[in-house]
Structure 1
Amino acid sequence: MIKETKELIKTLLTLATSELPGHLQIPVEIPVSIDEYKLSHPIGSYLVAYKGSNFKQKDVKNIIAQDRDLEIMLIVTARYRSEFTPEEYLDYAITKLSGYKMDAKRTDRMIYCSQDEWLGEEAGVWSYAATFVVPVEFYQVGI
């Protein structure tokens, strides 16, 4: 479920960034390592990573049935330019991903951003992180 959710976020954001003018588009990547990631694009990139989950038991007897809130971290790394700043890339991603309806039987099935934060700046490359909550369901295997 985690891998599929990261791929979904990557696909949604890749489609959204294709709406930007070509010279402002940045890639969406699922890196093997955040710590060892090296920016290779001249402007910046979006990095998708799993942050964790929260579970809430449903009122069901004899099986494990839970609402699961997957937390996907989206890191924006971008060089600071006047035309489209790192903060604007962050806002763009939040606007485009928030409200997407998941295929779940939950009433609160829309993706939303729960927080964002500045991570720092190094050699003119600014980094921000946004945490997106992706509501899904977890059921005991073998039922």
Structure 2
Amino acid sequence: MLLETQADIIARLRARLPGVLVEDFPDKPEDYRLNHPVGAVLVQYGGSRYGKRDEIGLVVQERALRFGCQLVWRALNGERGVLVALELVRRALVGFKPSHSKKLRAVRDMFVSQQGGLWRYVIEFEGDALVVENQEADDGPLLTVVGSFEEEVGNGD
């Protein structure tokens, strides 16, 4: 579910931001090297918050899935700067519905760092999903005899 939702977000951003590199957040972020002339959007699952259990005989909970988009950009300002890109990412994802959650909403965006001529900002989104327990089969006795209601009470004759 998480990988599919992340893939949906990446596909949406690639369609909406065709001149930008959009990919999964790297396994080794300390080794990440920006090779794109403008910038990159790196998408990462950031965790979940779970709601209270509904009391209906089984566990059912709301789950707020959080995804972050880290923008790694060569320029801060101007038409090709990270601040414009941040707004484009927000517009592309607010209201977008991935396959395994409700529509995404923006949670926050913030400056991360500036180092070696690269500006880093992050914008986070949440989408709600429903968690339902995997109910196991009851270990009660097996049904061995099947009769009809008429057999039990008679047919009224």
The TM-score with structure 2 as length reference comes to 0.77
Q: Distance in 2 between matches of 1:62 and 1:100?
A: 33
2:93 maps to which of 78, 97, 103: 97
1:26 maps to which of 13, 20, 24: 20
What residue number does 2:83 align with? Answer: 87
For residues 105-137 of structure 1, the C-alpha deviation after alignment (integer angstroms, 9 at most, x for no partner) is x9xx32011000001111211000011102111
The TM-score with structure 1 as length reference comes to 0.84
- Does residue 1:35 correspond to 2:54, yes or no? no
What residue number does 1:13 align with? Answer: 13
What residue number does 2:142 align with? Answer: none
Secondary structure of the equivalent of 1:57? coil
> Shift in Å at residue 83 of structure 1?
2.9
1:56 maps to which of 35, 44, 51: 51
Q: Which runs of structure 1 show a deviation greater than 4 angstroms over 4 or more consecutive aligned residues?
A: none
Count, aligned residues:
134
RMSD over aligned Cα, in angstroms?
1.9
What residue number does 1:68 align with? Answer: 63
Pick closer, same or farther for the CA change 1:60–1:35 going to 2, 3 Å. farther
Secondary structure of the equivalent of 2:51? strand
- Which sections of structure 1, spanning at least 5 residues, go unmatched? 19-24
Is the CA contact 1:110–1:135 (under 8 Å) kept in the aligned structure 2? yes
What residue number does 2:42 align with? Answer: 47
- Which sections of structure 2, spanning at least 5 residues, go unmatched? 137-157
Is the CA contact 2:40–2:71 (under 8 Å) kept in the aligned structure 1? yes
Higher Cα Rg, which structure:
2
Where is the strand percentage greater, Structure 1 or Structure 2? 1
- Does residue 1:135 correspond to 2:131, yes or no? no
Pick closer, same or farther for the CA change 1:59–1:142 going to 2, 3 Å. closer
For residues 42-75 of structure 1, the C-alpha deviation after alignment (integer angstroms, 9 at most, x for no partner) is 2110000111100113524221111111100100
